[in-house]
Amino acid sequence: MLYPGHGDIEPFRQLAERLAVPLKDSSEAGFDPHEPFFLSWRDGCLKLLDKELLKKGGLAVEIEPRNGEQRSWPAPKDGALAQALGRKTKTVVDATTGWGQDSLHIFRMGYELLCMERSPVMAELLADGFNRLAGLDWMQNLNLQPPRLLIGNAIDLLATVETPPDCIYLDPMFPPKRKKSALAKKAMMVLRDLLGDDQDKDQLFAAALAAAGKRVVVKSPDYAEPLGGKPNESFQGKLLRYDVYFKN
């Protein structure tokens, strides 16, 4: 946890205690920047920093729609993701929330959404993003609440969901296609460094299929084998696809 040397130190101290990490002051003599990651508040949001981002910038949960997404609420349910989620779907669990971009797209399309994230660091970044989302004018004008967030391993959390959601959405980490492939976006590189590849993808899929009410949707790179065997449906996006498995 990185305190910049000015402003109220208490939120920094509390977050460091929650995550059981040291609190460092970048203004102190002898400050050593050689840590894999730092968390700090910058520009009104919680950001994740590495040595390249220490002097400026940082990565935060982006709450604004991505390029090409509708800014109205609810956004139209079109595109490959909406097709995979299903026309009659109302409730969705995102069991692999990560940076929350798919989650927020699902939320903006009007689905009732529950998010799960196993990394305590990512969960803090998500909670900060959802708090900022709650404060936006359009959210308050429409009296909307941000998605709920549960922290922990989704394999365990899915077994505790009382009412089966219509759809469970999975976006697990897959190994890159080639070691020499083009560098992924910075946010995905950092997420992979934090979490590594999901070695328990098969167990996660089994837990999702057991907990889902109607369907499981798996987002995969286009080169990857289907996680759950032959899907009932598959919808192609740019360099990826959404495999759909119906609940028997």
Residue 47 β-bridge partners: 40
What pTM does this model have? Answer: 0.89
Residue 4: per-residue pLDDT: 87
Residue 186: per-residue pLDDT: 72
Residue 74 β-bridge partners: none
108 in the same domain as 41? no
* 48 membership: H or E segment, kind and range: strand 45-49
Residue 182: per-residue pLDDT: 42
116 in the same domain as 32? no
83 in the same domain as 6? no
Residue 115 β-bridge partners: 94, 149
Judged on CB neighbours under 10 Å (0-12, 13-18, 19+), 240 is: middle
237 in the same domain as 151? yes
Residue 220: per-residue pLDDT: 93
* 14 membership: H or E segment, kind and range: helix 10-19
Q: What is the CATH number of the domain that holds 187?
A: 3.40.50.150
Residue 183: per-residue pLDDT: 40
Residue 31: per-residue pLDDT: 74
H helices present in 24-92, as ranges: 79-85
Whether residue 139 is contained in a domain is answered as: yes
114 in the same domain as 193? yes
Whether residue 202 is contained in a domain is answered as: yes
Average pLDDT per run of 10 along the chain, which is 248 residues long?
Answer: 89 93 84 81 90 79 81 86 96 96 95 96 96 94 96 96 96 68 61 69 95 97 92 92 94
Residue 9: per-residue pLDDT: 93
Number of domains within the chain: 2
Whether residue 58 is contained in a domain is answered as: no
Residue closest to 48 by CA, chosen among 9, 19, 6, 10: 19
Q: What is the 3-state secondary structure (H, E, C) of 81-107?
A: HHHHHCCCCCEEEECCCCCCHHHHHHH
Is the Cβ–Cβ distance between 221 and 177 less than 8 Å? Answer: yes
Is the Cβ–Cβ distance between 10 and 28 less than 8 Å? Answer: no
| Structural domain span for residue 10 | 2-49
196 in the same domain as 125? yes
103 in the same domain as 11? no
228 in the same domain as 113? yes
